[in-house]
């Protein structure tokens, strides 16, 4: 395939059957969003918001784009802005992995860190302040309706197309901005109402379950607020996932399935395995795998992983 721009390669990500982790009698698939060009599901969000803003005139040629991000949205926006010729500035809580900052800077972005004590709310507030002060375009991923709309028009239909004539009982996803959960969930409920939407949350921050926020290690999942674009009604099941469960699942996916993914993808698979253990025999599950493990080299995902020579067998 030949494309005019890297942006033409966004979407149409593969669905892969897990061979070893699923319980007997259960089929578990993963939609591998790290096949997007900037290696995460947030590539969809980025192209959606920028092209919507271009169509409406909200984003002018050469105008700076600014957004609050845990990393993947910032990387995706940095890629899209680089390809289209817009300067990009990311605001980001200082505790998120350093490699995310470096990738954004490699893509031409500037990164402004906000204090850990201010959590996600602080980085959002900083982005809003910078937009107002400088006349920049605020991507506003947590409120922008273009976010879930793109998943309604791409991710959801991709899944429906891939499962034409095939059984699908559960769709499992986490939530960060709410775009994937909302857009895909709404499409599946419309076209395949028999499919149950299972939504995973950090055990320490199960906001949809009514619990207070506490810090967690599942980067990209669940800021300290519920985004405006998130449609709570699509969730049929809410599943808490601990940091340890998410990390263990991500490591198992790499070592046993050859799927090198991040902690949030591990969290989705950990949640899917919880569903699988209670599901009727023959059930078919699809889980979202949101990004690559290379975003997590400095995090708990790689703690204890040796970097020297192994002992010869």
Tokens of 153: 């028009």
- Please list, residue by residue across 271-308, b when 16 or more beta carbons sit within 10 angstroms of its beta carbon and e when fewer do: bbbbbbeebeeebbbbbbbbbbbebbeebebeeeeeee
Identify the active-site residue in 31, 39, 42, 217. Answer: 42
Residue 83 has a CB neighbour count (10 Å cut-off) of 16
**Exactly one of 264, 265, 274, 283 is catalytic; which is it?**
264
Q: Give 50-55 contacts, CB < 8 A, sequence gap 24+.
A: 50/77, 50/80, 50/81, 50/84, 50/86, 50/139, 52/144, 52/146, 52/149, 53/137, 53/139, 53/146
Active site residue 264: yes
Active site residue 110: no
Would you please indicate which residues are annotated as catalytic (active-site) residues? 42, 264
């Amino acid at each position: 395939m030949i494309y005019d721009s890297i942006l033409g390669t966004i979407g149409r990500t593969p669905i892969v059957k897990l061979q070893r982790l699923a319980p007997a009698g259960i089929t578990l698939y993963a939609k591998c969003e790290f096949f997007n060009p900037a290696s995460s599901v947030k590539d969809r969000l980025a192209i959606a918001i920028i092209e919507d803003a271009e169509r409406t005139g909200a984003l002018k040629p050469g105008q700076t784009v600014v957004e609050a991000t845990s990393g993947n949205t910032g990387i995706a926006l940095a890629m899209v802005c680089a390809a289209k010729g817009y300067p990009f500035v990311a605001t980001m809580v200082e505790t998120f992995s350093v490699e995310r900052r470096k990738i954004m800077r490699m893509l031409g972005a500037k990164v402004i860190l906000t204090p850990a004590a201010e959590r996600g709310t602080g980085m959002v507030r900083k982005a809003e302040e910078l937009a107002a002060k400088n006349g920049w375009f605020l991507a506003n991923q947590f409120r922008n309706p273009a976010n879930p709309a793109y998943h309604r028009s791409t991710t959801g239909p991709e899944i429906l197309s891939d499962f034409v004539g095939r059984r699908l009982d559960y769709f499992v996803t986490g939530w960060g901005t709410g775009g994937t959960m909302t857009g895909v969930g709404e499409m599946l409920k419309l076209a395949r109402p028999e499919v149950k939407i299972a939504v995973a949350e950090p055990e320490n921050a199960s906001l949809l379950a009514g619990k207070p926020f506490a810090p967690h290690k599942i980067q990209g999942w669940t800021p300290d607020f519920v985004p405006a674009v998130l449609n709570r009604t699509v969730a049929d099941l809410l599943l808490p996932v601990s940091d340890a469960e998410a990390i263990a699942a991500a490591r198992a996916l790499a070592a046993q399935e050859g799927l090198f993914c991040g902690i949030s993808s591990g969290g989705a698979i950990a949640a899917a395995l919880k569903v699988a253990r209670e599901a009727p025999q023959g059930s078919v599950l699809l889980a979202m795998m949101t990004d690559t493990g290379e975003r997590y080299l400095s995090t708990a995902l790689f703690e204890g992983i040796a970097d020297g020579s192994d002992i010869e067998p």
